[in-house]
Chains A and B, each alone.
Chain A
Amino acid sequence: MDKVEPAGMSAETTRARRNIYHALSAGFYVPEADILSPQFIQDLQENFAALDALDELGDSLNQLNKAGKQYDSLEKLLVEYSKLFLGPDKLLAPPYGSYYLNDKTTMGASTTEVIKIYEKLDLELSDSFQDLPDHISLELYFLAYLVEQQLVLQQEKGSAAGRNVLKWQNYFLENYLYPWQDEFTDKIKSNYDSDFYSPLADIYSCFIDREIEYLARNVGADSEV
């Protein structure tokens, strides 16, 4: 009997999810010039279109698009990024899971758990990543990797293998990102008036909500027809 993926688990959907995770990961890391490029917004728009989410996210994407054109230099965005996520001032929106999960500290017990998950999957931080293991960018990057693995394993080992990766995505998301999503995005929006990061926070928040629903729907779903 042929195995057919449930609706929503098509390669196109999976690729779109991967791309969004990756774009958001880049968006919450120290910005490089391409973050302000039209391509960044366009990518997000295309991938959200593939998820049929433009109705929900259209306004935020438009705001982000508008913001991208307003920033006349990367420096302005770097200043805002520093205020929100890097310092050296008081961090307005700490981007670390442990801050929310372990009493406002970094490198709490939850960070160790995240490191162990990376290690379990034979992964470690690249030299080019210069922040903590539970930084939101890295966690989103890791999820992009998991989604990519879903594609790879599905192709190489069949749909059961691909679907098992959904469990890992779900496990990671529900334990290490979703619990602090609201507080994090609230801080971004209420502690600083950024034309760029405010819509990005909305997009992130909406996407994670969708992901939680998506995974709840698809983890363990019977795919045999």
Chain B
Amino acid sequence: MSSRKKGISRRDFLKIMGTSGAALGLGIGGTAGSRVLAEEDPYEVLPEGEHQYGEWVPTGCAGCTSWCSLEANVVEGRVIKVRGNSRSQVNGGSSCPRSHLSLQQVYDPDRIKRPMKRTNPEKGRGIDPKFVPISWEEAMEEIADKVMELRENGDSHKFVLWRGRYTRLRDILYGILPEFVGSPNKISHSSICAEAEKFGPYYTEGYWNYRDYDLLNSDYVLIWGTDPIQSNRQVSLYSRQWGDILEGAKIATVDPRFSRTAAKSDEWLPVKPGEDGALALALAHVILVEGLWHKEFVGDFASNDSQFVAGEEVAEEDFTENYTHGLIKWWNEELKDRTPEWAAERTGLSAEQITRVAREFGQAAPRACCFMGGGGVMQIRGGYNAMAIHALNGLVGSVDNEGGAVRGAGVPNQSFPDHTDFLDDISLQGLENEMIDRRGRLEFPALKDGKSGGGVVTNVSADSIIEEDPYEIKMAIGYWNNFNFSAPETERWDEAMAKIDFYIHLVTHQSEMTQFADIIIPSTHHMFEQWGMLYQKGNLHTHFWLSRPMIPRYWTLIEPEAEFSWLLAEKLADRGYSNMLDYFRTIVDPETGSEPENYREFAEYASKHYMQPVWDPELDSHGEQFQGWEDFKESGVWNSDRFEFKQHWGNFATSTGNFEFYSETLKEALQEHGDRHGVSVEEVLQACKYEATGELAYLPHYEEPYTVGEAEEYPLLLVDSKSAMNREGRSANAGWYYDLKTIDPGDSPEADVIKIHPEDAERLGLADEDEVRVSSPTGEIYCQLKVWEAVKPGTACKTFGMGHWAYGRLAAEDFEAAVPRGANNNEIMPAEYERLSGSTSFYSHTRVKIEKA
């Protein structure tokens, strides 16, 4: 706002406190401030360096899927520190290293500060978008016009909403908004996150989710393809408890690289990438041969004389199972030949170590816990690995049991009111179209929750856009995501995003994906500037936390999930399409019944609505009870009652109700998917790059690892790991990211490194600190070599996190020239999938060659 006087318009940047904003000008000498100016000496009245005590305000962190409950210290409107919220039963007063980088994120000068518009229509990596600031009005009107245009032209389905990280307010932007546009395309990031590791638990015990692990009560902990004190999951909790866990249990870690967790374990099993299935099957073999399975859970032979003998089949009728299904079939079809010696040849581990670990794990039954992460299973043929690894918990009876792999409690959330009655014919017709991630096609079963096409195949949506199959995408909204960096074979995303006519990105920072945006919407930081909530399990509890606005929004930011949706709904209503706004008005303040009048109220009411069962004393939360909204806000976190063991024994959500070593549940799902396409289960598996035939399709079994590239040309297998400082790819513009880089074992504070074993370095004629070119069949990157003993020979380990060519002054080496700082693993990783779950493959399939640059 400006007023006219002689010369240029007068800007009105300051006003007298408490006024409506009258311009400061001549003739206002009578204010309180004027008296101070006239009479007081600034050198005396302005205190210097006076220490101020702040207020600890509850919040939560979505920097990884640990989702810790935190508190932020706010001093005079500035947040200066974070710590764990001691009221949480999950992470308690602990916080992980990366949580603190949130301070450098929120106050990063490179943040997006106001809506921006692209002025250069040409799009591509290295092409300057020439963004200019625009008003909110202009931004939202352009977006609304485009939505209306799609709807009027019968193209509403040619819209896609991509979701990266989120709060539970996602149900509005991700869950509801696309339907009002008239598109089925709600594409989450989940399959570049985890899905394959949920596949194993689902097709054994009917649970498609992350597990909790009762490590404090375990006697033997087998950490598999994950790094819980470094990257995921419950890093804050385990960073605090690890010493106690080690006191009570023997810990063995399966990982091709010497991870931080491996360094804090009793035993390290550096398995050859992709051979996790072989190891798991051999462990199962030994447990059975040595009679160490948990009889109460699994059952036993009718005769004491019977036993499992390597290479010999067992009559099914000789064994009576209790809470499991198909053990003898598993043994006869698969396990009887999976000896430690057989596995040693494939895994690169000794038969002695395999036998010892299996024996000690079995002897600890049922307090033996196998903690599975993505490393061993987010592989092209990793679905059956996930079943085999999780089945170890079944064998030792630690599933749903003390000291074992358990679940979280139900969460007392309240869904938003049904919106389907508000959808018009355009929306309903649009929703009939196939989704652009091709889920449910023959080659992408994505069998989440047992349903053909039940899950997402995030990374394939780039191909769909490029190939216009199933159709062209004309408009997209992405939020809290950056697939041009975080999804393998990134070049495809560059090509796909350049092809989209109108892209809106809702983010805190300019990222690689933002470079393709037509409009950028500046997002609030989820921890400090907005309402939001997430729940997570750990330490035998589930917690559910609330974040809230606690610092001023000086920049023109909006919360992307609820606030943005409201603003768009208003603009659509202005254009005669008020359905979404009419629906949003039904989400009222649960305390007063008031309808929201603006976007800020909408976000707050939606938060109160979603969490009402938590804070409303009239409702049973199945856990901690509060006296009302204000009472809950003071705490900021709800905790469930402690997990009760064995509540699922006998009623697992599988086809048989039992823990299935032979998965009738998978059999039904695969057959349904095959029937849908008129093919056999074997043909389904072939389309998904699996080799199994016959009954093996329903059993955890060995599959030869699938790799891309020939071993002669690309002699090393890439091992990707995640930096402890990664806030999911969003913290690379924080200075502390680099200051603390040595927190990642073997990494350097000076350079982004790829680590290989000294034997390989010598063979390849490479030396420590050489600048190298790392190539794969799909790309090449440049970084520095680190020769390091703690890497399995034949592998090359590189931490994921650096390699941004956008994202700000620290993240990119040369932002203007799109030169990355370090190298992004995803540029050399072929886009491959564990297709049964829809998961992207990140591990074991990428072969690389390393040469001096």
Contact = CB atoms under 8 A, between A and B. Distances in A.
Q: Do chains A and B stick together as partners? A: yes
A126 B15 contact: yes
Interface stretch (A1-9, A153-161, A178-186, A206-214): A153-161
B750 interface: no
A33 B42 CA distance: 37
A40 B6 CA distance: 10
Contacts of A42: 7
A141 B13 contact: yes
B127 interface: no
Given A32-B2, A141-B11, A90 B45 contact: no
Interface majority SS (helix, strand, loop, mixed), chain B: loop
Given A87-B111, A130-B556, A141-B11, A148 B26 contact: yes
B632 to A, nearest CB: 28
The number of chain B residues touching the other chain, given as a range, is: 35 or more
Contacts of A161: 37-39
A115 to B, nearest CB: 7
Contact of B109 (A104, A119, A129, A130): A104
Contacts of A152: 26-29, 34
B509 interface: yes
The listed residue with most B CB atoms (<10 A of its CB), out of A90, A152, A172, is A90
A106 B815 contact: no
A19 B7 contact: yes
Contacts of A167: 41-43
Contacts of B11: 22, 25-26, 29, 128-129, 137, 141
Given A78-B133, A107-B78, A130 B15 contact: no
A145 B556 contact: no
A88 B15 contact: no
A91 B509 CA distance: 12
Given A125-B13, A148-B24, A120 B7 contact: no
A115 B76 contact: yes
A92 B17 CA distance: 33
Interface stretch (B112-120, B322-330, B677-685): B112-120
7 contacts: A26-B11, A94-B109, A115-B77, A121-B33, A129-B13, A132-B555, A142-B14
Interface string A70-87: 000001001101100011
Interface residues of A, number: 78
Contact of B78 (A26, A111, A145, A165): A111
A40 B109 contact: no
Interface string A24-37: 01100110101101
B508 to A, nearest CB: 10
Contacts of A22: 10-11
A117 B17 CA distance: 13
B19 to A, nearest CB: 9
A33 to B, nearest CB: 9
B302 interface: no
Contacts of B131: 79, 82, 88-89
A125 B108 CA distance: 21
A32 B3 CA distance: 13
Contacts of B76: 112, 115
B119 A35 contact: no
Interface in B28-79: 28-34, 36-43, 45-46, 75-78
Contact of A87 (B6, B17, B21, B110): B110
Contacts of B114: 30, 86, 130
A43 B119 CA distance: 31
A156 B112 CA distance: 44
Contacts of A78: 132-133
B79 to A, nearest CB: 8
A61 interface: no
A124 B13 CA distance: 9
A52 interface: no
B29 A126 contact: no
A215 to B, nearest CB: 12
B516 to A, nearest CB: 13
B510 A87 contact: yes
A105 B109 contact: yes
Given A126-B12, A131-B113, A165-B37, A88 B514 contact: yes
Given A40-B7, A88-B510, A122 B32 contact: yes
A199 to B, nearest CB: 17
A115 B77 CA distance: 10
Nearest to A103: B735
Contact of A157 (B15, B33, B38, B108): B38
B119 to A, nearest CB: 6
A39 interface: yes
A146 B8 contact: no
Contacts of B38: 153, 157, 161-162, 164-165
